Amino acid sequence: MVADGNTVATEAWGLHVQVRVALDAIELDVDWRPESDHVAIVGPSGSGKSTLLRALAGLEPGAQGHVSFGDDVWLDSDSGVYTPAWERRVGWVPQDALLFPHLSLRENLAYAGAGQPDVERMAASLFLSDLLDRRPRFLSGGERQRVALGRALLSAPRMLLLDEPFSALDRPLRSEVAAMVRAFARDSGTPIVLVSHDEHDAELLADERWVLVAGRLIADGASA
Amino acid sequence: MVLAASSLQDVLPAVARAWDARGGVPVRFNFDATSRLAPQILRGALADVFVSADDEWMRWLEERGGVDGPSIRRVATNQLVFVVPTGAPDLPGDPGSIARADLARIALAGENVPAGRYARAALESVGAWSSVEPRVLRGGSVRGTLEWVARAEADGGIVYRSDALAEDRVSLAFAFEGEAFPRPAYSGAVATRTEFRGTAEAFLDFMSGAEAEALFSASGFGLASAGGPVAQTPAAASALDASPGLDPWSAVRLSLIVALSAVLLGLVPAVAMGWLLARKDFLGKSFVSMIVMAPLVVPPVVTGFLLLSVLGRDSALGGLLATMGLPIPFTLLGATLAALVVGFPLYVMAIRAVFDTVDRRFEEVSWTLGVPKAPTFLRISLPLALPGIAAGAVLAFARALGEFGATVVLAGNMEGETRTIALAVYSLLESPSGRGATWILVIASVVLSLVALLGFEGLTRWQRRRMEDHHGR
């Protein structure tokens, strides 16, 4: 079901998203079948990017339509199929990190059940080793984003859903963290869907780019 | 305004109607236990005539200038009787048989209420007091005592003959007859501060006259002449201070036990209800919310009455609980339950508010990390809400400490069992020499409440700080 690195990505990851979600002002209405397994969706704020990710993660119970990933059907309104978020196993990294405030960094990273050696290794690759026993409120925005990323990667995700994951990182750190995420995705064969309003972020991680405008998704060949 | 012993509340209005028919001015009444009325008159309660159920309280009031000495006169007499709920098998036949073990709960009026004092003296004179004392339920007035027997909350009780005749839910087992037993006697007097001295004197005359005498005897009272002259020796204050059993520290301890148990017992239901109201939309939500919040606005006495109706021994549920060995009325459990029900709205409100402030997206992150709803609740929602839950518990604790109305109705006022600080203070109001104990209780109560409020403040601040955590520094 997941690419083994040699097969063509389209066959392997087979994400098909056809959903409608009512938002405050607009309706998100997409019929989407990405080809590459590193996809970026760009668009202005308010276009529905975060909602699309949430619908993929199983956090929009109001979503109507059909979502399938490989052989798994996650949503099919017609037949009443709805896979809850905890069974989809997507690594969702929300824009504002949402680290659990009552847990230390170490506990945040290990939340999904990762062992201490893995936690330490992940912390090192995200330059967080010195901070492991702190509480989230003593961290900067960039540090939080990296912890959130590490927490998602350590949950053995079947797909990464990154919502503006580098917005609080400065440029040099951005490239390093992006390279680390890319390596993780390559080694584990995990597809990535990234949303950002920043063209540059999209270039760092994605092979294929889509543009979301007012709830509609349009293919964009510019960076393919 | 006539302030009169509560055992007179059926007969005196009849006397007043007769007085009215003779062209007297209309009379209004305030019936309560003599032991509460006498101190109230001293503290300035509006009164023209006072009718006491015993001579000692009358003398006590005269000594302190509450009534005119020369106006004091005998009005009527009464007799103590032992009553049981109607339909009870195997009536006890004489005073000695009260010691029988199957009479598990015996209702008497409060320690300083005349009927309670007479009853104790009667039991002492047959040597039964020490065996009866642990089984005593203390009512407020004699009317409250009668109601407990009528509801079968008590297996028997000692009241006046006139009360027993007026209530068909009780049966008269025997009377305390003879020289050995005290003879309850009523005396009336004009209140010193009356503005209608002439009318007050005239009403007193009428009350002790032939026409009133006929009405009294029709209601089961004895003749005034049977009571002899009103005692002339002023009562020692200690004679009225029949509260040697009232230990203020026992009340403080009991208050803490009751409040803590109420908070612990209510923890899971309050968290569940608070979470439900904050997070779920369901049919009838506003109705459920209203029922939960009701004890906040319904008078506690009414809440207590409703609880007694549902959980009393004469109700289906209460009967079932009693046979399971969990009787609610007049037990520590009842006091706890009353405190819990009255404190529950505050408990739920605080917890609901905290679940409203905990960002639901923390739970969502946890789900996407593969942790289902129930474990997410335990690992994320509950710890995040912990300070707020603790604040709710402290608030409910403080409210439980102050609970009075529902407790006195559901659980009575029993030393060492249900007499918490608030009830003890109330009891001491009718005990002339209980000032020291009263102040201990007042100080303990104020200190405990302030400490609880301080705790609430601290916990609320902790919760707020925790919620600000993820918004960056």
**Mean pLDDT per 10-residue section of chain B, whose length is 473 residues:** 88 89 86 85 86 88 88 89 83 76 80 83 84 80 84 87 86 83 88 89 89 88 75 55 65 92 95 93 91 92 90 82 82 92 94 91 95 94 92 93 88 79 80 73 90 88 73 44
Task: Kindly state whether A2 is in contact with chain B, defined as any CB-CB distance less than 8 angstroms.
Answer: no
DSSP A5: S
Q: Which amino acid is it at B211?
A: E
Residue B237, CA distances (Å) to A76, B57, B430 in order:
85, 9, 12
Which residues in chain A are closer than 8 Å to B372, comparing Cβ atoms? Answer: 84, 86
Q: Do A59 and B366 touch (CB under 8 A)?
A: no
A89 touching chain B per CB within 8 A: yes
Question: How far apart are the C-alpha atoms of B141 and B108, rounded to whole Å?
Answer: 9
Q: Which of B371, B376, B470 sits opposite A101 (nearest CB)?
A: B470
In a domain, A122, yes or no: yes
pTM: 0.76
The reported pLDDT for the residue numbered A172 is 86
CATH number of the domain bearing residue A118: 3.40.50.300
**Has residue A168 been placed in a domain?**
yes
Residue range B2-75+184-221+233-240 in CATH 3.40.50.2300? no
Domain positions in chain B? 2-75+184-221+233-240, 80-175, 248-471
pLDDT of residue B189: 92
Residue among B396, B400, B394 at smallest CA distance from B456? B394
Task: Please state, in angstroms and rounded to a whole number, the distance separating the CA atoms of residues B265 and B191.
Answer: 50
| C-alpha closest to that of B41 among B430, B464, B449 | B430
Residue type, B283: L
Q: Which residues of B touch A (CB under 8 A)?
A: 359, 361-362, 364-373, 376, 379-380, 383-384, 466-470, 472-473
Q: Do A89 and B370 touch (CB under 8 A)?
A: yes
Q: For the domain made up of B80-175, give the CATH fold.
A: D-Maltodextrin-Binding Protein; domain 2 (3.40.190)
CB B154 within 8 A of CB B105: yes
Give me the percent of chain A exceeding a pLDDT of 90. Answer: 38
Say yes or no: do domains B2-75+184-221+233-240 and B80-175 share a fold.
Answer: yes
Range name among A30-44, A132-146, B163-177, B422-436 with the lowest pLDDT average: B422-436
User: Sign of torsion, CA A162 A163 A169 A172?
Assistant: positive
Above pLDDT 70, what percent of chain A? Answer: 92
H and E: helices and strands count for chain B: 21, 10
Query: Which residues in A11-123 belong to E strands, given as ranges?
Result: 15-22, 27-32, 38-42, 64-69, 72-76, 81-82, 90-93
The H or E element spanning position A217 is: strand A216-220
CB of A195 within 8 Å of any CB in chain B?
Answer: no
* Cα–Cα distance measured from residue A175 to residue B456, given in angstroms and rounded to the nearest whole number: 48
Residue A221: the pLDDT is 60
A71 is a domain residue = no
CB atoms within 10 A of CB B286: 9
Confidence of residue A7 (pLDDT cuts 50, 70, 90): very low
**Residue A176 domain boundaries:** 36-61+84-223
Residue closest to B393 by CA, chosen among B352, B457, B344, B447:
B344
Token pair 């970026």 is found at A40
Q: At B434, list the tokens.
A: 């209980």
Residues of B in contact with A138 (CB under 8 A): 473
Distances (CA, A) of B2 to B20, B30, B49, B189, B356: 14, 6, 5, 10, 55
Which tens digit of pLDDT belongs to each residue from B173-214?
Answer: 888 888 778 888 899 999 988 888 889 999 999 988 888 888
CB pairs under 8 A between A and B: 83
User: Which SS3 state, helix, strand or coil, does residue B120 take?
Assistant: helix
Site from B280, B364, B369 to mutate, A interface, most A CB atoms within 10 angstroms: B369
User: What pLDDT is stored for residue B23 in this prediction?
Assistant: 81
> pLDDT value at position A5?
41
> B327: which residues sit within 8 A by CB, 6+ positions away?
B313, B318, B321, B333, B334
Residue A220: the pLDDT is 77
Strand partners for A76: A66, A81
Structure tokens at B300: 């506690």
Helix (H) or strand (E) holding B181: none
Which H or E run contains B208?
none
Angle, in degrees to the nearest 10, between helices B142-150 and B114-125: 70
Name the E strands within B39-198.
Answer: 49-52, 73-77, 80-85, 106-109, 136-139, 156-160, 170-175, 185-190
What domain count does chain A have?
A: 1
Per-residue pLDDT at B239 = 54
Which letter does DSSP use for residue B223 in this model?
P
Q: Cα–Cα distances in Å, from A201 out to A3, A165, A205, B347, B370?
A: 23, 8, 7, 48, 27
Kindly state whether residue A13 falls inside one of the protein's structural domains.
no
A98 CB neighbours in chain B (<8 A) are: 359, 361-362, 365, 470
What is the model's pLDDT at position A37?
A: 84
Q: Which helix or strand (DSSP H or E) is residue B21 part of?
A: helix B11-21
Q: Rounded CA gap, A23 and A46, in Å?
A: 10
Asked if residue A143 is part of any domain, the answer here is yes
The Cα of B469 is separated from the nearest Cα of chain A by a number of Å equal to: 5
Q: Mean pLDDT over residues A134-157, rounded?
A: 91
Coil, strand or helix: which one is B302? helix
Which amino acid belongs to residue B372? P
* Residues facing B5 on adjacent strands: B32
Question: According to the model, what pLDDT value does residue A224 have?
Answer: 40
Helix (H) / strand (E) element for B454: namely helix B435-468
pLDDT, one tens digit per residue, over A73-85 is: 899 988 989 999 9
Assign a CATH topology to domain B248-471.
MetI-like fold (1.10.3720)
Domain assignment present for A9: no
Q: What confidence score (pLDDT) does residue B101 get? A: 64
* A25: in domain: no
Residues B232-290 pLDDT 10s: 655 554 455 544 456 788 889 999 999 999 999 999 999 999 999 998 888 889 999 99
Question: Nearest-5° angle of CA B233, CA B237, CA B240?
Answer: 95
A160 touches chain B (CB under 8 A): no
Minimum-distance CB partner of B469 among A92, A137, A151:
A137
Residue B288 or A71, more confident: B288
Contacts of A131 in chain B (CB under 8 A): none
Alpha carbon of A221: minimum distance to chain B alpha carbons (Å): 31
Query: Which tokens in the block code for residue A112?
Result: 């999904």
How far CA A186 is from CA of A40, A121, A183, A210, B143, in Å, comes to: 16, 17, 5, 21, 86
Q: Residue A9 has what pLDDT? A: 39
